[in-house]
Amino acid sequence: MKQRVAAFLAAVVLLGSVSGCTTTSFAGLAKAGYVEEVDSASRATARDLEALQKQVSEIAAIAGRMQALASEMEQTQRTTAELQQLAKQVESRLTSLPRETLEMLVKSIEAYLAK
């Protein structure tokens, strides 16, 4: 019986040594260096993830500012188009005014700007 137990234990140790990765474990137990290596890699991955999350936040903020600028530009374009339309209307109305009225208008504007 003692021989069987000793043979069984020897077989377990032998199988554990042969079947497992001998650089990372012995009889199924991880070596301290391997644990430290995995822990270090885990911390490095966490730092990388944190850095990527920060970059994503910065990109999202930039995207928000870009969207606000695009909205402002669209509003400016609409306003410019409206002003151009009004300028055309003023031009057509001015051509129908008598010259004397236009001269009075110019004098009034010049007087206002001289202030």
Q: Are residues 60 and 85 in the same domain?
A: yes
Backbone angles phi, psi at 21, to 5 degrees: -75, 115
What is the per-residue pLDDT across 14-71, written as a single tens digit (0 to 9) for each? Answer: 555 555 544 555 555 667 778 788 888 999 999 999 999 999 999 999 999 999 999 9
Q: Are residues 24 and 35 in the same domain?
A: no
Q: Are residues 46 and 100 in the same domain?
A: yes
Q: Are residues 47 and 13 in the same domain?
A: no
> Residues 39, 44, 48, CA angle at the centre, nearest 5°?
150
Evaluate if residue 7 carries a pLDDT over 60: yes
Q: Are residues 52 and 102 in the same domain?
A: yes
The structure tokens 């110019």 sit at 106
Q: Are residues 41 and 87 in the same domain?
A: yes
Q: Are residues 99 and 109 in the same domain?
A: yes
C-alpha–C-alpha distance, residues 104 and 99, integer Å: 9
| 82 vs 21 pLDDT, higher one | 82
Evaluate if residue 5 carries a pLDDT over 70: no
Q: Are residues 18 and 55 in the same domain?
A: no
Domains of the chain: total: 2
Residue 76: give the domain boundaries.
Answer: 31-114
Q: Are residues 19 and 40 in the same domain?
A: no
Q: Are residues 69 and 19 in the same domain?
A: no
C-alpha–C-alpha distance, residues 106 and 34, integer Å: 89
